A and B are shown apart, each in its own frame.
Chain A
């Protein structure tokens, strides 16, 4: 193993890891927004919205994320959508993970006992009030773990955006392999940094989980 080389290139990898963190955080935010919207649509009273929400989930969970990225980044310009790689990466990953988030959020909401809504409604609370005051606070606790799992999957999946030339960890590793011919060392550095990022994410989830532990 070429330790000297590894030490020399590490600063470039750390910089690339920062891009991976940025792309993950931004697509996580987009994914949560899409997930909230998707769950709202799927659980709502409007049939067209429910169908739309269902179609969103099926489409984005039922096709490879890589293809979704390619359609957006390479196919986009054909229909007048011109995005830089970073933006396309964030949107592609965010909309994809949003489909998984939709199901996690929906599952958590449905897991809150029906009796909770009934008790709230029997007191005279409106649907919205019962949802906001009673169901969502309880569902939020149930969402933390599945959303944590999705977030980890998202960080790993962010390697895919290397294929649309976003200069993040995986792309950087490949680029250095091109000039050094040391794939083992380069991928090892990338792997260690991915582990560090994922470790950080898991700690965040554990912290949230502990903070919202049911009394």
Chain B
């Protein structure tokens, strides 16, 4: 077992606790209930892929985990700390800012900061939030940019990068905070097909390093390759979950079968 997997939990949680735990998550937008009681747990070092048709609530679930959406009911836990803690006002603000520093999020549309260079994109948060010296942060950023293969783009502005390069910078930016988990919301859906692999490669590398990851994806092949567990969502509920082999070859639910038939055909 790797060091990452045996390291005792920090943040007050027991070592046996899941890294991410979602309990009975409910969320409505107006009259439409988008999450209808989701339970989910991701162990330390585990990689879980979430698949499901458009509008099934995958993004909403992921966004709820780092509180970009707030649940109507239910609990979200990160390594023994309740993300949607019952606090209010300034106390909750402080709490959520601290919790978010422990979770990296990668968006479909990259959301790089266009007025900052690649280097500044990566160093901004650690410089502001971790009180490190400029040199230490720079060194960390250089290492990360090297890891995602963009060391030579440090001084470029995002507008000069391809989509694949942008997404790799976005991953480096999230990693710069040294998060405990990484959340990916369709990281490659907005990319031209020939740029998908370079991003997938970076994610696979993270998987080898036992980063805990929750990945929303439409790419069944990629999910099969990296995920320890696949979770199929439809209509705001988890229809079924299990190891990728079983989900892809012997799905139990008719809904899963129908979905996979449609996807695996392409």
Contact surface of A with B, Cβ cutoff 8 Å: 113, 115-116, 118-127, 129, 133-134, 137-138, 141, 214-215
Contact = CB atoms under 8 A, between A and B. Distances in A.
Contacts, number: 62
A133 B124 contact: yes
Given A116-B113, A138-B115, A214-B114, A123 B107 contact: no
At the interface, is chain A mostly helix, strand, loop or mixed?
helix
Contact of B97 (A126, A133, A215): A126
A139 to B, nearest CB: 10
B51 to A, nearest CB: 22
Given A113-B111, A134-B113, A122 B97 contact: no
Contact of A123 (B109, B157, B160, B173): B173
Please classify how large the interface on chain B is, using the bins under 10, 10 to 19, 20 to 34, 35 or more.
Answer: 20 to 34
Interface string B159-184: 11000000000100110010000000
Given A115-B107, A133-B128, A215-B159, A122 B66 contact: yes
A121 B68 contact: yes
A111 B101 CA distance: 26
B257 interface: no
Nearest to A115: B111
Contact of A119 (B97, B113, B160): B113
Given A122-B105, A214-B159, A138 B114 contact: yes
A123 B101 contact: yes
Nearest to B109: A115
Contact of A118 (B111, B129, B173): B111
A212 to B, nearest CB: 9
Given A115-B111, A124-B125, A129-B128, A215 B157 contact: yes
10 contacts: A116-B111, A122-B66, A123-B100, A123-B124, A125-B97, A129-B128, A215-B114, A215-B157, A215-B159, A215-B160
Given A115-B109, A133-B128, A138-B115, A122 B100 contact: yes
Nearest to A212: B115
Contacts of B129: 123-125
A127 B174 contact: no
Nearest to A114: B111
Interface string B67-107: 01000000000000000000000000100011011011101
B31 to A, nearest CB: 23
A88 to B, nearest CB: 40
A138 B128 CA distance: 19
A122 B125 CA distance: 10
Nearest to B157: A215
A210 to B, nearest CB: 16
A113 B112 CA distance: 11
Contacts of B115: 137-138, 141, 214
A129 B128 CA distance: 9
B159 A123 contact: no
B98 A124 contact: yes
Contact of B107 (A118, A124, A127, A129): A118
A123 B104 CA distance: 7
A113 B115 CA distance: 13
Nearest to A141: B115
Nearest to B105: A122
B100 A124 contact: yes
A125 B128 CA distance: 8
A14 B93 CA distance: 56
B114 to A, nearest CB: 7
Contact of A124 (B68, B111, B112, B177): B177
